[in-house]
């Protein structure tokens, strides 16, 4: 879910930058609020967010197992969020690898 929103934001930023370059006007280029980030930066930040979610999940599980005061509902919600983020990351990884394999098969 997080990966999807980050990817959508990167896509929208790229569209705005492309539209500004196509129009050629510096005024439209100044309208974009955030600078366009590269694919590598977007991927790195989303992986860091997924990692943070996994670490938070592990700390909540450890505190629950230790018998500390932990809300079970929040624990279950965090478990679901972390699991969903990890499965989405795995799906994105699979799509990237499939795209790379298709590119390597192309003949130029």
Most confident of 11-15, 27-31, 32-36, 94-98: 94-98
Residue 3 pLDDT class (50, 70, 90 cuts): low
Spatial separation of the C-alpha atoms in residues 93 and 98, rounded to whole Å = 9
| Number of compact structural domains in the chain | 1
- pLDDT given for residue 28 in this prediction: 44
For residue 95, what are the domain limits? 2-105
Residue 106 DSSP label: -
Q: Minimal CA–CA distance to 45: which of 10, 87, 83?
A: 10
Residue 94 pLDDT class (50, 70, 90 cuts): very high
Share the mean pLDDT of the chain.
81
Tens digit of each residue's pLDDT (9 = 90 or more) over 20-69: 766 665 544 455 566 667 888 988 999 999 999 999 999 999 999 998 87
Per the CB < 8 A criterion, the answer to whether 10 and 42 are in contact is yes
């Amino acid at each position: 879910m997080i990966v999807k929103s980050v990817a959508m934001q990167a896509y929208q930023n790229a569209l705005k930058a492309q539209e500004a370059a196509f129009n050629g006007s510096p005024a439209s280029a100044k309208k974009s609020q955030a600078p366009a980030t590269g694919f590598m930066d977007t991927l790195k930040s989303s992986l860091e967010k997924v990692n943070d979610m996994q670490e938070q999940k592990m700390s909540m599980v450890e505190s629950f197992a230790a018998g500390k005061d932990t809300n079970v509902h929040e624990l279950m919600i965090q478990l679901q969020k972390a699991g969903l983020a990890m499965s989405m990351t795995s799906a994105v990884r699979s799509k990237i690898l499939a795209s790379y394999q298709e590119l390597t098969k192309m003949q130029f």
